[in-house]
Structure 1
Amino acid sequence: MSSLVVQTLGVTAPVFAMLFLGVVLRRIGWIDSAFIASASSLVFRGCMPTLLFLSILKADLSAALQPALLGYFVLATVASFLFAWGWAIWRCPRADRGVYVQGAFRGNNGIVGLALASSLYGDYGLSLGSVLAGLVIIIYNILSVVVLAIYSPGGNASLRSVLLGIVRNPLIIGVAVAIPFAWWQLQLPEWLLTSAGYFAQLTLPLALICIGGTLSLSALRESSGTAISSSLMKMVWLPLFATLGAWLLGFRGAELGILFLYFASPTAAASFVMARAVNSNYQLAATIIVVTTLSAAVTINAGLLALSWLGWI
């Protein structure tokens, strides 16, 4: 158990550090609202699409291809999204529903989930985790565009506007452009890949610094109830139901363990970037990211311990 705690903290501690750095930089005046707005736009429009492109490009799409597992993962993700949306309609103010839903279903699989899958299951975890991450990136972004378009200030919920939002979304474009390169193993010049890698590496530090710079005690107090509700759904209820459903369908061992890690990952930093891009309640998005990341060391390790004790993984 202690080794699992150390592994989880090893993945989440750098996230805490960058969030705290953002708080400090804003407090001492090295960054301001204008910087946060510009940096968030750069991450959304450039850095993160480049990161997704490179991630898909390096993934072996033919490896660890398990249709049943991938199919269940997609269905469980969509079901989680719909459940969170239904709960938000009942319990959440309309203006915050898009951010609430995105925070409740969108996990940080590309960083936390993949790192833990690789740590626990070695090359097999890395291979299967990469395929799952590449698939869910597309699903996450499409569903997020839909719900944010409906509830963002001045948003247009018509079918045409939602479809345009999906087609124009830089994150989806980054994934869509990468798939042919990965599938046909098209080679790009090494200097171009290196330069793109430098640019992509700005994604997580900039996004987390912006999140930290956005946090304030007043915002935390105002959004605490909604943020905790969304965080509980993300870290407790949805992983519980999705993992139990996978077990009932016969998944065991490493496959069930990796599914749990992906369902139980804290909310992705991309949720803040997208909320900011459409002028939604990005302070609520930032709070949800902080709460879920802080709780990950407890909930992920408790889940792995329970699954091990039951003999399911």
Structure 2
Amino acid sequence: MTLTDIFLQTLATTLPVFTMVFIGLGLRKLGWIDAAFVNTASALVFKATLPTLIFLSILRADLDTALNPGLLGFFALATLGSFALVWLWSLWRVPRMDRGVYVQGSFRGNCGIVGLALAASMYGDYGLSAGGILLGLVIICYNILSVVVLLTYQSEQKLHWGHILADIARNPLILAVIVSVPFAWWDLSLPEWVMTSGDYFASLTLPLALLCIGATVSLNAIRQDSGPAMGATAFKMVTLPALCTLAAWLAGFEGQELGLMFLYWASPTAAASFVMVKALGGNARMAANIVAMTTLLASITVTFGVFVLKGTGTI
């Protein structure tokens, strides 16, 4: 396979995902979708269609392949290492009041939508099932670490671990993983009409979610003073994906496993990071800048990263 073939194959994987994001941006500019639509659709995806998609994907999965303790453990360690590295860097380069926002924006990826969509586009059923299981771990790690670093620099806020753990335990995506694994493990089946109806419902997830992500990108925020947001964007989209993927390759991961982890590490900053910063009284403008810049840049960095990994034969 020539480099041209690899490049075209890469575009066939990444462009459909990011095209939907840019369509969402365009529809918002045209006024065809508004904030009310985005709020309603995002809630529908988070509470219903995405959990359904994850449940059905894991239900059909071969857990011997999809449930990989080594991959889960390495991803958790890499997340902790990324978190620590960015925090140490921020002590030197970022004003104290913005450090929490900087650190969260640098390591917290949008794995639930963009990462999972890319995994599905590249690896099909394996991407959805293995990606869904990995997503449960990602949600726990990202939420706990984000709260810790944000509250460290928001002295007027108090850390309520009971509320944090309760929110994680009630997260629909985690519940979908927990409920679906026993079904897949014991090879339990549902009636065909239930599976078909579920597929129809779940098929709404990725296009609807990607449109909402595009509609929430604010070009005005990027044009405003971004401060350290550029540094956080470089960390999130270039430095950390490269370092983590290299570490995973050196640890012996390759093929689908390495590709899945790269797509999750290379995902743009999650929109939920902006919501959390705003709720805690942090620098919401900076958080919005990071989300917007990483989302727009992802179409380039993810495509380039997949091209390099495919070209070198590591995935």
Give the shorter-chain TM-score range.
0.7 to 0.9
The 2-side partners of 1:90 and 1:37 are apart by 37
Amino acid at match of 1:63: T
- Residue 208 of structure 1 corresponds to which residue in structure 2? 210
- Residue 111 of structure 1 corresponds to which residue in structure 2? 117
SS class of match (1:10): helix
Closer, same or farther: CA 230–47 of 1 in aligned 2, 3 Å: farther
Q: 2:191 aligns with which of 189, 194, 197?
A: 189
So what's the TM-score if we normalise by structure 1?
0.78
Are 1:75 and 2:77 an aligned pair? yes
CA deviations over 1:261-310 (Å, ceiling 9, x no partner): 234326547933675588565744343223123321223213443x44xx
- Residue 105 of structure 2 corresponds to which residue in structure 1? 100
- Residue 27 of structure 2 corresponds to which residue in structure 1? 25
SS class of match (1:2): helix
Listed as ranges, the matches of 1:164-243 within 5 Å are 164-222=166-224, 226=228, 228-243=230-245
CA deviations over 1:152-183 (Å, ceiling 9, x no partner): 89975322122112101121111111111111
Indicate the RMSD between aligned Cα atoms, in angstroms: 3.4
Amino acid at match of 2:300: L
SS class of match (2:74): helix
Which one is further off, 51-60 or 281-290? 281-290
- Residue 123 of structure 1 corresponds to which residue in structure 2? none
* Percent identity of equivalent pairs: 37
Aligned residues: 297
So what's the TM-score if we normalise by structure 2?
0.78
Amino acid at match of 1:295: T
| 8 A Cα contact 1:148 1:278, kept in partner | no
Which one is further off, 154-163 or 199-208? 154-163
The 2-side partners of 1:77 and 1:99 are apart by 12
Structure 2: tracts of 5 or more residues without a match: none
Runs of 4 or more above 6 Å deviation: 152-155
- Residue 271 of structure 1 corresponds to which residue in structure 2? 270
CA deviations over 1:83-122 (Å, ceiling 9, x no partner): 345445665524634750454585844332454357xxxx
Structure 1: tracts of 5 or more residues without a match: 119-125
The 2-side partners of 1:201 and 1:262 are apart by 21
Closer, same or farther: CA 87–303 of 1 in aligned 2, 3 Å: farther
- Residue 63 of structure 2 corresponds to which residue in structure 1? 61
